[in-house]
């Protein structure tokens, strides 16, 4: 249940119940972005299509988008990032999570990269 799946765009998703999942950005992504100073999270209740811009990440170096790895409806956001965006740098796959989705179709998660496939892509 706790296994991460990744996208080629450096988001991760973790299934938390049969039809909900948490989303964030990978360790590689936070490292590339550098110190993150702001995250604009989606509104709760918003429906996101797979690949749609879901959150905006602002670091001291750049602005970047976090896309929805799969389709679903936003059911929770990590409000603690408003005061402590540095959590994304410190613990990107833990307390630096962005938002949780009620999934349209949990099978969309299965076809994403697993950790070893994602690592292999990074190493290329």
- Report the distance separating Cα 109 and Cα 118, nearest Å: 14
> How many whole angstroms separate alpha carbon 74 and alpha carbon 48?
7
Binding status of residue 58 toward other proteins by CB under 8 A = yes
Q: How far is the CB of 13 from other proteins (least distance, A)?
A: 14
Residue selected from 10, 14, 87, 100 as contacting other proteins according to rule CB under 8 A:
10
Query: Any contact of residue 65 with other proteins (CB under 8 A)?
Result: yes
Give the count of beta carbons closer than 10 Å to the beta carbon of residue 21.
24
Q: Where are the alpha helices (DSSP H) in 13-114?
A: 27-33, 87-90, 107-110
Q: Which is nearer to other proteins, 106 or 119 (CB)?
A: 119
Give residues in contact with other proteins (CB under 8 A): 9-11, 25, 29, 32-35, 37-38, 40, 56-58, 60-67, 82, 85, 89
């Amino acid at each position: 249940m706790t296994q991460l799946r990744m996208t080629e765009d450096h988001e991760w998703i973790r299934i938390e119940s049969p039809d909900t999942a948490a989303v964030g950005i990978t360790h590689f992504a936070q490292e590339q972005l550098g110190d993150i100073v702001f995250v604009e999270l989606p509104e709760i209740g918003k429906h996101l299509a797979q690949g749609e811009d879901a959150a905006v990440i602002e670091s001291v170096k750049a602005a970047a988008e976090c896309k929805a790895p799969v389709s679903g409806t936003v059911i929770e956001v990590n409000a603690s990032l408003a005061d402590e965006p540095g959590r994304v740098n410190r613990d990107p796959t833990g307390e630096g999570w962005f938002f949780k989705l009620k999934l349209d179709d949990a099978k969309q998660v299965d076809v994403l990269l697993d950790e070893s496939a994602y690592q292999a892509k990074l190493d290329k």
